[in-house]
Amino acid sequence: MTTEHKAPYRVIGTRPLRPDGADKVTGKAQFGADIRLSGMLYGRIKRSPHAHARIKRVDVSRAAALPGVHAVVTAADLPGAEDRVAELGEGSVNMRELSGNVLAHDKVLYRGHAIAAVAAVDAHVAGQAVDLIEVEYELLPPVLDARDAMRPEAPLLDKNRRTRSMAGPADGPSNVAAHYQFISGDPEEGFAEADVVVEREFATRMVHQGYIEPHAATASWSSDGQLTVWTCTQGAFAVRDQCVAILDIPVSKIRVIPTEIGGGFGGKTIVYLEPVAALLAKRTGRPVKLQMDRSEVFEATGPTSGVNARVRMGATREGRIVAADVELIYEAGAYPGSPVMAACMTALAPYEIANTKVDGYDVVVNKPKVAAYRAPGAPAAAFAVEQVVDELAEKLDIDPLRFRLANTSREGTRGPGGRPFPRIGHEECLEAALSSPHYNTPLEGPSRGRGVATGFWFNGGMRSSVTVIVNADGSVSLVEGSTDIGGSRAALAMQLAETLGVGIDDVRPSVADTDAVGYNDVTGGSRVTFATGIAVHEAGMEVRRQMTERAAAHWHVPASDITYEDGRLTCTSDAQKSATFREMALQVLRTGEPLVATGSIVGRGVGAAFSTQIADVEVDPETGKVQILRYTVVQDVGTAIHPAYVEGQMQGGAVQGIGWALNEEYCYDDQGRMANASFLDYRMPTALDVPMIDTIIVEVPNPRHPFGVRGVGEVPIVPPLAAIANAVYRATGVRQTQLPMSPRRILETTLGLS
């Protein structure tokens, strides 16, 4: 369902088949684990069974002596990486700490921390060798909760860490890596004006992105010292840059070839296996493949943060929010870099509030270093803020959507960082939700409730490059470097087809490696259709310019006499001289030079995204099980390039949010051992657990994109946690302040059990 008529496009807004679809459904597509090279060896990694320990000794002699083993490496084989922070598109990482995460140096900081790796003739021998590696540990007490880690007496993960803030580094060591603070207006004066004030505390657990394909990487060195890496990643160039820093090799000496990717959602932006595979391949002189099993994915890759939050908000009796005070404490895992900064900047973004204060803390704990997960940081912040907003509306006896509408951010509202919003669509989303069939259908029956929530995500720009080649048969090759996770090949090909005025079947998109196309940042932050789309449009316009000049030369007229419209070139001084794009390509490429154009941009003019969602639930009073009865996602997408893929992103984000809300969590014992490191015990929703997710596409075009695009993929995961919590409250009368809202937790809170 679309709420307003779009501009008249020929290709944009249609629903063609995805170019990579046939290979994926027939099994021809190559994913990370599908790489097979001549003479290839197989690697395995020795991982820590402890959450916090000092490494006193590593003895690899027995492993190295096992028949079939070709090499064993440890952190001693890694050069010292620079103490430098690099942006990865969806978060940042310190390269020295990243090296320590790839192979532990002097301490292990979480169960599953990599210590050593072996390469052998097959995976079975490699597994035997790993068991023969002897590690002597000095056990240290783990700290597993961010609030506990902030205490002065807490065990320190790094005695040299000092809290960073605007005032500079703190004097003493701490597990608090950073403190961020944002203040606008006078919060205390605002609270003095409020007639109603609500304050609550909330907590969430670590959750995983849940991508189906485990991490896999293969490395091979040529005789002239060139390293080639095949990997399933969201950003081949990011992998290249991380390997350059960790392995201390020139960027010209590494080529990264991205395979197809079986999901990522932000979790495949950091390297884990690639540098280790490269070390083993160099040591053995043969290609080496490493791949994780599911328990390794859970225990040793980046989930998103567990969060403690406190939210205090005040409103007048007329329904105006006048003050907000938010505290967000985010677990970073073993090394700094949680998404708490993004959380601070997204928490209150949907609303125009004059007086605000937001404090954010990035705290290290003895768990795996977190990675991005779809709108990193925003869902947990919205879980807290949107429940308090809902409670304010209830106390004021105002419809929860109308209360949000009365306080909505609009064009000109100061958004994250203090800059005024350009044209945004939050107001339109709320209005669409208010008038939706779902919201206007009564919900009847006992133990049932309806909840709403709204969410915000910045969306990303960053760097993109593409190459467009016009072929002699009139078709067009589009070479781009953005990993295709959710249909970006099709979305980019459609924008090129629209720019050139040709059919979508005339465009052949492909994802290239780091040696075959200009630099591209990661596929993340909802940036590719927007930013790479601008690069595609730029290259397409250059093709049009060149084609116009070729037509002028072919017809012996000035280029100013040629018009290019809807894929047809016409001579204004002689209407008989007219040709389609294909016809002209056939003519000019027979005798002229190749027609190639590039587009390289930094994606500025990003359009912020908002989503409003409605959830109907039924809570079984005997078991505590929450059933989703009906669910609607309303989202401003700017312009829906491929509406089916837009709907899929909206539905997929909502389903992940539903899992996060109701079932998913990392379960640790007091020694930091994860008890549910498998899909059997880590409960993700299946098709049997959710209804059909209804979608309402709102299109408020982004004025700074040639086709009005806003990013789509991130924001739909932001509202579900709070929308479902608000629905459960209305079904049970009890506020849920902790996630997940599992049957056990529902019964404990509603029945007063402990």
Residue 186 has pLDDT above 50, yes or no: yes
Task: Give dist(CA 521, CA 234) in Å, integer.
Answer: 9
Residue 378 Ramachandran class (φ > 0 left, ψ -120 to 50 alpha, else beta): alpha
Task: Give dist(CA 698, CA 78) in Å, integer.
Answer: 50
- Predicted local confidence at residue 6, as pLDDT: 55
> In the chain, what percentage of residues exceed pLDDT 70?
99
Of the candidates 613, 699, 664, which has an alpha carbon nearest to the alpha carbon of residue 382? 613
Residue 3 has pLDDT above 70, yes or no: no
Burial class, 293, CB count within 10 angstroms (exposed 0-12 / middle 13-18 / buried 19+): exposed
- Predicted local confidence at residue 82, as pLDDT: 86
Alpha helix positions (H), 221-291: 236-247, 274-284
Q: Note the pLDDT tens digit of each residue in 152-165.
A: 999 999 999 999 99
Task: Give dist(CA 336, CA 694) in Å, integer.
Answer: 38
- Predicted local confidence at residue 92, as pLDDT: 78
Q: Note the pLDDT tens digit of each residue in 710-725.
A: 999 999 999 999 999 9
- Predicted local confidence at residue 385, as pLDDT: 98
Task: Give dist(CA 115, CA 167) in Å, integer.
Answer: 37
Residue 701 has pLDDT above 50, yes or no: yes
- Predicted local confidence at residue 754, as pLDDT: 54
What value does the mean pLDDT take over residues 491-516? 98
Scan for tokens 């945004």, then name that residue.
Answer: 424
pTM: 0.96
Average pLDDT taken over every residue of the chain: 96
Residue 5 binned pLDDT confidence (cut-offs 50, 70, 90) = very low
Cis peptide before 740 (omega within 30 of 0): yes
- Predicted local confidence at residue 561, as pLDDT: 97
* Residue 197 DSSP SS3: strand
| Domains present along the chain, CATH in parentheses | 21-27+461-602 (3.30.365.10), 423-459+606-754 (3.30.365.10)
Task: Give dist(CA 147, CA 176) in Å, integer.
Answer: 10
CB-based contact 305:344 (threshold 8 Å): no
- Predicted local confidence at residue 355, as pLDDT: 97
> In the chain, what percentage of residues exceed pLDDT 90?
94
Q: Are strands 134-139 and 288-291 parallel, antiparallel or unpaired?
A: unpaired
More confident of the two residues 180 and 589: 180
Residue 591 has pLDDT above 80, yes or no: no
- Predicted local confidence at residue 179, as pLDDT: 98
Scan for tokens 């290249």, then name that residue.
Answer: 240
Residue 13 Ramachandran class (φ > 0 left, ψ -120 to 50 alpha, else beta): left
- Predicted local confidence at residue 85, as pLDDT: 85
Of the candidates 210, 278, 324, which has an alpha carbon nearest to the alpha carbon of residue 658? 210
Q: Note the pLDDT tens digit of each residue in 433-490.
A: 999 999 999 999 999 999 999 999 999 999 999 999 999 999 999 999 999 998 999 9
Task: Give dist(CA 609, CA 702) in Å, integer.
Answer: 10
Residue 255 binned pLDDT confidence (cut-offs 50, 70, 90) = very high
More confident of the two residues 592 and 504: 504
First to last CA, the chain: 45
Scan for tokens 């329904």, then name that residue.
Answer: 319
Residue 81 has pLDDT above 90, yes or no: no
Residue 2 has pLDDT above 60, yes or no: no
